[in-house]
Amino acid sequence: MAVVAEKQTSKELTEPKVLLELKGVKKYFPIKGGILQRKQGDVKAVENVSLQLFEGESLGVVGESGCGKSTLGRAILGLEELTEGKVYFQDAEIQDLKRKEKLKFVKQMQMIFQDPFASLNPRQRIGHALEEVFTMHTDLSAKEKRSAVLDLLEEVGLKEEHFDKYPHEFSGGQRQRIGIARAIALHPSFVICDEAVSALDVSVQAQVLKLLKTLQQKYNLSYLFISHDLGVVRYFCDRVLVMYLGNTVELATVKDLFENPMHPYTQALLSAIPRPTVNANRKRIRLQGDLPNPANPPSGCPFHTRCPIATDICRAEKPAWVEYSPKHYAACHFAGQPLT
């Protein structure tokens, strides 16, 4: 507890420290075809993403399916090899490390997956699944491991009797708690939540989000919170990154982004949030057309094919990533212009 308290005070006293930094991260998946499996092109899943993540903050990443949110998360963890770009974690370059050197960082960076059932080995008791984390990274004895796992279970709101159960014997919310327990077992400083609550009921979502918040305060965790649910992001995150077709579109604090969206895509996304008010006077921005093929992205601004205010410059030139107001970045030639 003493360590935690110390961390919190130091956090209050100093400027937020950069924990994770991405510089020009690109991830292309080659398309292979023909008899010889020659490369015929690339699916541009993540296109030139640069951002900073501070200690103890939650950064939401939102966008439609297929916009590269999950790939970005996996690329950060090194589960996908980067095509280009650099990832710095605590000021150290980590993208090209060998497995052994990487283990140090693996302890610090963890991931919570979307489908808690699919992310647990169906033939492994969850107690053993959690013990395995300690087996891989610590020298604890069998007894110590067991007690560490029991502590973990308690921490995420499960009981000792759950130790010997298989994943299919749990409810969805409980399984996600196990996923969380596994991710925080080694006390990481950074956790990627890849649609961590999307598969859960709304009531269970709230509980799990609450748990994530509690853990964040306790361990000074930073979250990269990948989601397509803007309501959840609004509640949970400090800053939000909007992605479209592998590109970063807008980055701002939650308040700023929801109150003053700069990019037409963000505005369209926000207008799609269902609101619990009857007869509310609001305009719904409907985007026309489908998401373009990421293997053959549009010229210029990737959003111009669906953007209601696109002009010739959007088709010709890719907009720059500009800080329009403090900590509010957007990539649009007409940032801030209202949609008509």
Contacts with other proteins, residue ranges (CB under 8 A): 74, 77, 79, 99, 102-103, 106-107, 110-111, 113-115, 118-124, 132-133, 136-137, 160-161, 163-168, 179, 182
In whole angstroms, how close is the CB of 101 to other proteins at the nearest point?
11
Give the nearest distance from C-beta 200 to other proteins in angstroms.
16
Shortest distance (Å) from residue 99 CB to other proteins: 7
What's phi and psi for 219, nearest 5 deg?
-110, 10
Could you tell me the smallest distance in angstroms from the CB atom of residue 197 to other proteins? 16
**Is residue 183 within 8 Å of 152, Cβ to Cβ?**
no
CA distances to 68, 83, 279, 295 from 28, in Å: 10, 6, 45, 9
Dist. CA 71–CA 179, nearest whole Å:
19
DSSP classification of residue 167? G
Cβ of residue 304: shortest distance to other proteins, in angstroms? 34
CB closer to other proteins, 143 vs 275: 143
Q: Of 133 and 269, which has the nearer Cβ to other proteins?
A: 133
* Complex with other proteins: residue 163 or 258, whichever CB lies closer: 163
Q: How far is CA 198 from CA 20, 44, 101, 191, 207, in A?
A: 25, 25, 33, 16, 13
CA angle, residues 196, 197, 198, in degrees to nearest 5:
100
The DSSP output letter for 225 is E
- How large is the angle between the packed helices 142-155 and 126-137, nearest 10 degrees? 120
Give 31's strand partners. Answer: 41
Q: Give the total residue count for the chain.
A: 340
Nearer to other proteins, 20 or 77 (CB): 77
Shortest spacing between CB 193 and other proteins, in angstroms: 12
Nearest approach, Cβ of 115 to other proteins (angstroms)?
Answer: 6
Residues ≥6 apart with Cβ < 8 Å to 324: 262, 330, 335, 336
Exposure letters 177-198 (e unless 16+ CB within 10 A, then b):
bbbbbbbbbbebbbbbbbbbbe
Closer to other proteins by Cβ: residue 165 or 234: 165
Q: 73 or 261, CB closer to other proteins?
A: 73
Would you say 186 or 291 has its CB closer to other proteins? 186
